[in-house]
Amino acid sequence: MVAAQIPEMMEMAEEEGIAIEFYAPGDGHGLANHLIRLLSSDELRRNLSKQNLAAAHGTPMSQVVADYMRLFHERVPTSKAKVTAP
């Protein structure tokens, strides 16, 4: 997993034991470098996958979704989070 280095994501990764490659928010080059590194290394992908599978084992998908939604709502105020259909 690759994600912006925001406090909520970092906290969740630490609490849940999730392996995340973090980049500075707004750093497109940092994001690209992490993606290239991940795509270029079978060993890195395997290690991250194993760690994340172990972290997720036994956690119901509904709990995973609830955790991500909580983080989203903490980060984006409700008034800005409105989504409209095209």
Q: Tell me: the pLDDT tens digits for 26-84?
A: 999 999 999 999 999 999 999 999 998 888 887 788 887 888 788 778 777 655 545 55
* Whole-angstrom Cα Rg for the chain: 15
Amino acid at 79: S
pTM score? 0.64
Check: CB of residue 55 under 8 Å from CB of residue 17: yes
Check: CB of residue 10 under 8 Å from CB of residue 22: yes
Measure the CA–CA gap between 56 and 69, rounded to whole angstroms: 16
Check: CB of residue 52 under 8 Å from CB of residue 1: yes
Structure tokens at 42: 């079978």
